Amino acid sequence: MSHTGEIAALGTALCWTVTVMSFEAAGRRIGALPVNFIRLLFALVFLTIYSLIFRDMPLPLDAGGHAWLWLALSGIVGFVIGDLCLFRSFILVGGRVAMVIFSLVPPMTAIFGWAVLGEVLSVRAWMGMMVTVAGISLVVLTRDKGDGKVRLSHPLKGILLAFLGAVGQAAGLVLSKHGMGDFDPFASTQIRILAAAGAFLFVIPVAGMSHRIKSGFLNPGALKFVLLGAFFGPFLGVSLSLLAIKHVQTGIASTIMALVPVFAIGPEVFILKRKVRPIEILGAFVAVGGVALLSL
């Protein structure tokens, strides 16, 4: 029995764990916007090489108008809006915490399907969403030992940005699935990145950010992390995620891919030497459990 979809989803989670750690390190050096744009350029190089080797064409010229329209829109929503918010949250609250909040992606995807496509949500699905929110609450809330009041354990701005990143990812996933159909997942990712890079080329000069991009390219310490994150993120990770949803139900793929905050605990403790509260570890597992309840 083939488990291509499940294996691809697990590979996605592992890739995204490496990506989160890499982009957090790069973002602390050069900022979220340069990281977001530069990693797309690196990923585009990887995808072009892949297409030349395995598809005998550098660009996805065999894609139809439907694929180009919806995948391009998906790229702008997911890579530009969603990821820009997410990368900024990496700097403010750390990659692991941001990815716990990011576990809201499957519930949001389900809600978008319910609101836009008229898909029916079961009682178990709503329960799964509540469990996911409960898990996230364990991570972002803490009780003050002095007055006993419940307070945020991390900056509100970082939490909100991670939430907006999850909204962008959920919307991008729905648009990707609608646009991809039976088209090649790697070529589909290439279309998404081409659209996102094009959007950045318009936004960066208008926003007066050109100097920040130049500074990013001149920072070798940051570039090595961007290069690593680009390979495991928008090239390999995102393409594996599209491969996963192509071969298995979106809910199952989303559940496996939601394991990133669990996988990120090890690197944070043993590599970055950060203190992780036991309640945060519990919250990560509870959030993933809620995704499983929603999706399976």
DSSP string, 141-195: EEE-TTT--EEESS-HHHHHHHHHHHHHHHHHHHHHHHHHTTS-HHHHHHHHHHH
Q: With beta carbons less than 8 A apart as the criterion, state whether 227 and 46 touch.
A: no
For the chain, which residues score pLDDT lower than 50?
A: none
Residue 101 in tokens: 């909040």
pTM of the model: 0.84
Q: Where are the domains of the chain?
A: 4-120+155-272
Confidence at residue 296, expressed as pLDDT on a 0 to 100 scale: 67
Confidence at residue 128, expressed as pLDDT on a 0 to 100 scale: 85
Nearby residues of 219 by Cβ (< 8 Å), 6 or more positions away: 29, 30
Confidence at residue 53, expressed as pLDDT on a 0 to 100 scale: 93
Confidence at residue 248, expressed as pLDDT on a 0 to 100 scale: 79
Confidence at residue 106, expressed as pLDDT on a 0 to 100 scale: 78
Confidence at residue 44, expressed as pLDDT on a 0 to 100 scale: 93
Confidence at residue 115, expressed as pLDDT on a 0 to 100 scale: 75
Distance CA 66, CA 22 (A): 34
CA angle 238, 240, 243 (to 5 degrees): 115
